[in-house]
Structure 1
Amino acid sequence: MPTLSSRAALSLLALFAAQFALPARALVPDAGPVTPAVPTAVDAPVALLVDLGSGQVLHARNPDRRFMPASVTKVMTLYLAFELIEAGRLDPAQVFMMSPGVARNWRRKGSTMFLDAGERVRVDDLLLGIANVSANDGAAVLAEGQAGSVPAWISAMNRTALALGMTGSHFGTPNGFPDEGQTFTTANDLVALARAMITRHPDKFGYYVGRAGFDYKGIAQVNHDPMIGRVAGADGIKTGFTNESGFSYLGTAQRNGQRLVLVVAGVENGRLRARVARAYAEWGFSAFDRKPLFPTGAVVAEARVQNGDSLHVPLKAGGPVAINLPRGSDSVLTATVRYDGPLRAPIAAGQEVAVLEVTAPGVAPARIPLYAAEAVATAGPIDRIINAVAGVFS
């Protein structure tokens, strides 16, 4: 993600102005059912609801407060596994064994897939067990099997977290079992993790996450996710609970091309967590008009390029661009492209180089990553001359 510390701004193309000429309420039909209320701070001391496509924060309460994520920690273990599979360093068909050391520490400890010392299990089953029945033993077997030791895996988790910008997080176990506060995170960090998992590994996310349960060795267990099967479009992700942390949840749902991610933490019991999670999801989908700005593939703007065979590079988003406005609002939108500029060649097609920031009164800004629509090579001698002349008259 480009930094925004040294900001250069461009005017958007005429397409953007044309889109804004339409009032928001003309683009979306009447709300219909009464919009659910936002859960209170008493019910959910920590809460965050984000539109994943636009990055727009729909609701936030203490999003940077640190808390113990309990089993939500396993989302980082899953993400790290997906990254390793993509890199060819882990194979779902691999077989790992529960070592005597892992068995001493994790056999039948908390949520389990009932592994025994010396038992051999496929990585595919470990990932399904971790994702859907919160297998503490499965996470430890995976960690030792791939990294050589559980501490080595935990070190990789923390390096991965930093690479994702999760500066408010630290992991002390692969599964979130109580560790005297060594493991902590924030709602903002968990949304960043969910975004990376869903956007970088959509196929793996779709295959492993969000099943109704998991049957291993003839032992059928259900997934206790509060939204799967209860909220239309819900994929779930992961629940968490310990006596120290209370009840937490990281979840997602998608409807009509819009994906929301939500985090709640510090909830006092499981039934309340379920109600709060469902209320946030339904509120997020019903309380806003989603105003389309650009279709998939549209060139949004262009950015200046230094030392390239072209003076500018066209910019496009990764998909359709929309912003959420309070239902019935006719707010005037303002959009700016921000990047560290001028950009320096070479630039690869598809490289993330800028951010489209869309603002409106009364709502949090949407920040959509922008990518180079075409490659820009380093300028040769003739290109430099042409660009120098063009620069004089631009």
Structure 2
Amino acid sequence: MIAFATVGIFAAQPLSAQVARVQPPAQEDAPIAYLQDLTSGQVLLSREADRRFMPASITKVMTTFLSFEWIEEGRLVPRQVFTVDPVVWDEWNNVGSTMFLPNRARVTVDDLIHGVTTVSANDGAAALAHGAAGSIEAWVSAMNAKARETGMRDSHFGTPNGWMDNGKTFTTARDLGLLAATMIRKHPSKYRHYVGRTEFTYNGITQPNHDPISGRVPGADGIKTGFTNQAGYGFLGSAERKGRRLVMVVAGSPRSSVRDRAARQLLEWGFQEFEQTRLLARGAILGEAQVQGGDTGAVDLVAPQGVFVSLPKGADPKVKMTITYRGPLRAPIAANEQVAELLVQADGMPEYRVPLHAAEDVGEAGILDQVANGIRGWLR
């Protein structure tokens, strides 16, 4: 059973007039385009967001995310040193983008991740995968398991670096947006340390980052470009301004210059054409959910990060918020456990959902609790 409770309907205040309008990139410049506001959770633009394509080097974002996860779990340590395997070196030496790893070089995990994120090192991704998992195949298997765990439903990886593999590696813009959002939310300090650097020096060789937005779009900090002859040029990027973060994907662009322009245009459109309003403060109690078998019959629900809505400038829509959960919930419930969602509907915009967490622990009911809960249920 799914329970519903309307929290409220709000009329948004009229927003400031727009002087010079920014448009999203044209279809021919970015056949695939996706823009999400991570602060509110809204999707602001979705063009062919579920169409599968070959991500090429954008694959390395999953290798980066898996590295962050393994560091968090203690399975990798940034100062840890790997020796480049001769077989891996022979396969990947000077293949595509490279950090110029010598054969049998001793290299830290920190340098390998920087090589992957900053100069798109194919050899670095392969050496990291082999050193961390014991084989590239085992690492790729872990990449796919992590993709499923993250909720990426239309993605599969065949290599750690996205090199051509006869179509085994594919993804969608929506999945890449989810990957970026999860990486940024779960690992903010690692993201700041490894992503968005303008250059990287290894073994005396300095190479620039070819990210088209960092240093060009205010607040931009990465994330990764990609190119294949079959799929064209793509980019997964993110930027933050005044506490508001956007994640974007463009793919299928015919030339790198077109992709770069489309990426910058999409972010500027998101920041300039939408204004954000806070509907509910961080930690505000939105309502309650019924609990079965608990030492109390209900639990308060909170939105840990607050509730925000981004609306087109000049718009004045009504915003409706409804609590939904599959209930009654069953005890025990831990404080801060996600147990429900807030459905937010604004006229003219795609609906979106905000996770709601339990405000406090709910233990399993004792005999007296069961009697009291039964009496309360009968009185209703």
Fold match, TM over 0.5?
A: yes
Partner of 1:337 in structure 2? Answer: 323
Give 1:306-321 correspondences, 5 Å limit.
306-321=292-307
User: Helix, strand or coil for the counterpart of 1:359?
Assistant: strand
Structure 1 residue 146, shift from structure 2 partner: 0.8
Is the 8 Å Cα contact of residues 24 and 328 (structure 1) preserved in structure 2? no
Q: Give, in whole Å, the separation in 2 of the partners of 1:332 and 1:36.
A: 24
CA contact (8 A) 1:76 1:157 kept: yes
Please identify, of 170-179 and 233-242, the stretch whose mean Cα deviation from structure 2 is larger. Answer: 233-242
In 1, distance between residues paired with 2:247 and 2:328? Answer: 34
Q: Which runs of 5+ in 2 are unaligned?
A: none
Q: Which moved more, 1:167-176 or 1:210-219?
A: 210-219
2:196 maps to which of 202, 210, 213? 210
Give the aligned partner of residue 201 of structure 1: 187
Structure 1 portions without partners, runs of 5+: 1-5
- The equivalences for 1:9-28 within 5 A come to 9-12=4-7, 16=8, 20=10, 23-25=12-14
- What pairs up with 1:250-269 in 2 under 5 angstroms? 250-269=236-255
Match of residue 362 from structure 2: 376
Question: Are the counterparts in 1 of residues 129 and 160 from structure 2 also a CA contact under 8 Å?
Answer: yes
Q: Is contact 1:260-1:284 (8 Å) kept?
A: yes
2:280–2:307 contact (8 Å) kept in structure 1: yes
Aligned to 2:119: 133
Runs of 4+ in 1 over 3 A off after TM superposition: none
Aligned counterparts of 1:318 and 1:216: Cα–Cα separation in 2: 41
3-state SS, counterpart of residue 102 of structure 1: helix
Q: C-alpha offsets along residues 221-250 of structure 1, whole Å, 9 cap, x if unaligned?
A: 111111101111111111111223211111
- For residue 104 of structure 2, the aligned residue among 115, 118, 126 is 118
AA aligned to 1:24 is: Q
- Counting matched residue pairs gives 380
2:5 partner amino acid: L
Q: Deviations over 1:50-97 (max 9, x none)?
A: 111222110110010000000000000011111111111111111011
Structure 2 distance, partners of 1:137, 1:34, is 46
Change (3 A) 1:101 1:31: farther
| Per-residue deviation, 1:344 | 1.0
Aligned CA RMSD, in angstroms, stands at 1.3
Percent identity of equivalent pairs: 53
**Residue identity opposite 2:111 in structure 1:** D
Instruction: Calculate the TM-score normalised by the size of structure 1.
Output: 0.94
SS in 1 for 2:77: coil
SS of 2:350 mapped into structure 1? strand
Q: TM-score of the superposition, structure 2-length normalised?
A: 0.97
1:149 counterpart = 2:138:
no
Aligned match of 2:21 in 8, 15, 35? 35
How far apart are 1:31 and its partner, in Å?
A: 4.8
Distance 1:348 1:277 in 2: 41
Correspondence 1:270-285 to 2 at 5 A:
270-285=256-271
Tell me which of 326, 333, 338 is aligned to 1:352.
Answer: 338
